[in-house]
Chain A
């Protein structure tokens, strides 16, 4: 039972060191009941480490990591669906045996676990693979089985670490539909992903982790505002001058994207461009997308890392 003032996921002052190296220095955030929360960050920023510590797989160096008001254990925790980044199943067993086993471990009766698994496999197009050994399935098919194992106990809390990794666009859509269904049923979803369009479509709030600390945290509009927020897409003739009011993000023949500096009015920029002799054919403003924000936040370190 969640304490009255504590949300389903509560992380406070979490720190994680491995052999003297700090992976997460200080991290605090909450995931509210029923929301879909995006946990974002570049590779190696500590996302998976945080999830593992939250689920008791790693012992934290310090800090509080609670699920439903206490450290997670399989016996006392809520109905959990966890899809780890490192995927794997018992390979020598049949699909139905593996799914039934996990279903029973998650508290289902054997008969119910079998029935649920058969229905799920039919839905995801694996109805003819019920008795096939897992090792005989393709990578994408194994992913579907793994997703089934994750959601088969009708989880209250879904923790998904890069859920669409390895999925083709069709199966990615299927996965997103399934996550959407659980969200509609009131499940809380904590999701690590690098697919920013998924985040914009599904997530209520996000946190951006950088160098083991929260770089930004809040609703998507709040994060967009935090990073200056506004971009101008310009179709023109002439030469775009440099200006302290904006930064030229993209520049090609007759098209430019300008990221506005904080507090600068779009009308002022338009007036300056016209004053500089630019023939403006189209002038539209929009918020920075999460992908653009991601590149802005992590671009430098990704380039440094040579990725």
Chain B
């Protein structure tokens, strides 16, 4: 029956959450906003990209230029559609009066003095084409002066470098080894941000709608709260997918136009031990914070009353971020040890140390056991608070009364 009821609770909670218009409005607002931002970025990048490509053969507009530096090659400038002049004032007037499209003024030292660009206004996005052409002409002329394309590329500093380092005789993995276990920290953090408020209010509806008595005589509170938490997690996954979808589509199909960096997945190193420890730390942390938020929600008569305590819990969680340099430089120091073992500081500290490789096996074991044991205690307390406390619809639950009830 308990198993059956667990499934019933999960089904009811998921269905009614996903069936609400408000849920979809708030959930889809994020990907829609992302899509709008991506579209704007793509739009703003397109003219620049087009202009860059065009600049290599034809700027698409004609221009005059003066060159105090002597680096501009007239034949290269001609390819871009440029004509050399000496009277800047007249050329600028011509642009101002609409008799010429653009005029560039190259200073004696273009690395120190900005190149001045004058042009007919073509609009916010199109105007960037003038700067692109002016810059490209200078680069192309310099490359032509060097003569050797490879030398030109080296001069730009556009060269790949691969580093190999060793730790205890073993090749260390660098950032490629840090990123995979760090994913658990990111996942935990995102899940908390997304679901914290819902965790807090998971039992509020029963209290605010006076359903507690009916529900407590119908279903075991463990099944009720367990079902609600699982349902919450399922709803959170749906939200994450909704948020991730535009990023995924953007990366797979519009990476170039969005100027997104290319990730080389082959450089990532998946250390099984770190991954397992990271997963266990994330799961234990999630359980602890979920249990604590449910307990707070069960104690407080309204979501508003519970909000202050949730703020305190969030601060506890992120405090280690302020000491991250200390944790990195001195993982065995006093502060690092406190951050590692105090349960509400542990999640970020331990997962971060695990990712960078400074969390030893026995330290990880202690933290994992601590998180899971405390989670079990807090979840049990949360159920008890709900069972014996949620009937107090309008007042804060007395912990003394609830604990006395457990004797």
Contact = CB atoms under 8 A, between A and B. Distances in A.
B218 A89 contact: no
Nearest to B393: A86
Contacts of A19: 398, 401
A89 B33 CA distance: 36
Task: From A18, A52, A73, A105, name the one whose CB has the most chain B CB atoms within 10 angstroms.
Answer: A105
Interface in B204-225: 205, 209-220
Contacts of A149: 214
Contact of B220 (A55, A75, A82, A86): A75
Given A19-B398, A86-B393, A107-B1, A102 B209 contact: no
A101 B13 CA distance: 10
A105 B401 contact: no
A106 B218 CA distance: 6
Nearest to A101: B12
Interface string B308-335: 0000000000000000000000000000
Interface residues of A, number: 32
Interface stretch (A7-15, A91-99, A242-250, A294-302): A91-99
B304 interface: no
B286 interface: no
A244 B51 CA distance: 116
A18 B220 contact: no
Contacts of B2: 75
A88 B214 contact: yes
A92 B404 CA distance: 35
Given A19-B398, A58-B405, A59-B406, A105 B218 contact: yes
A233 B388 CA distance: 51
Contacts of B214: 82, 84, 88-89, 102, 146, 149
B405 A88 contact: no
Contacts of B267: none
B220 to A, nearest CB: 6
A90 B398 contact: no
Contact of A52 (B12, B213, B220, B393): B213
A179 interface: no
B5 interface: yes
A104 interface: yes
A107 B4 CA distance: 8
Nearest to A135: B209
Nearest to B214: A84
B25 to A, nearest CB: 15
B221 to A, nearest CB: 9
Interface in A64-120: 72-75, 80, 82, 84, 86-93, 97, 101-102, 104-107
A93 B20 CA distance: 9
Given A75-B2, A82-B213, A90 B219 contact: no
B391 interface: yes
A97 B13 CA distance: 11
Q: Majority SS of interface residues in chain B?
A: helix
A75 B224 CA distance: 13
A86 B8 contact: no
A104 B219 CA distance: 10
B388 A58 contact: yes
B229 to A, nearest CB: 17
A91 B1 CA distance: 26
A184 interface: no
Contacts of A105: 5, 8-9, 215, 218-219
A89 B8 contact: no
B391 A52 contact: yes
Interface string A141-181: 00000100100000000000000000000000000000000
| A-B pairs with lowest CB-CB distance, top 8 | A88-B210, A59-B405, A84-B213, A88-B209, A104-B8, A88-B211, A82-B217, A86-B210
Nearest to B7: A104
B405 A80 contact: no
27 contacts: A55-B216, A55-B217, A57-B213, A57-B391, A58-B388, A58-B391, A59-B405, A59-B406, A74-B220, A80-B217, A82-B217, A86-B210, A86-B213, A86-B393, A88-B211, A89-B211, A90-B205, A91-B209, A92-B20, A102-B214, A104-B8, A105-B5, A105-B8, A105-B215, A105-B218, A105-B219, A107-B1
Contacts of B1: 75, 107
Contacts of A75: 1-2, 220
A101 B8 contact: yes
Given A93-B16, A101-B8, A74 B213 contact: no
A111 B264 CA distance: 53
B216 A102 contact: no
B381 to A, nearest CB: 15
Contacts of A58: 388, 391, 405
Nearest to A134: B209
Interface string B181-213: 000000000000000000000000100011111
Given A19-B398, A57-B213, A146-B214, 9 more contacts: A19-B401, A52-B213, A57-B388, A75-B2, A84-B213, A84-B214, A88-B210, A90-B16, A105-B8
B355 to A, nearest CB: 42
A57 B217 CA distance: 8
Contacts of B388: 57-59
Contacts of B205: 90
Interface in B371-404: 387-388, 391, 393, 398, 401, 404
A176 to B, nearest CB: 21
B82 to A, nearest CB: 68
Nearest to A97: B16
Contacts of A18: 401
Interface string B217-247: 1111000000000000000000000000000
Contacts of B406: 59
A91 B405 CA distance: 30
Contacts of A84: 213-214
A279 to B, nearest CB: 58
Contacts of B404: 59
A57 B401 CA distance: 13
A92 B5 CA distance: 21
A271 B405 CA distance: 62
Interface string B146-180: 00000000000000000000000000000000000
A92 B16 contact: yes
A122 B34 CA distance: 49
A74 B391 contact: no
Contacts of B9: 105
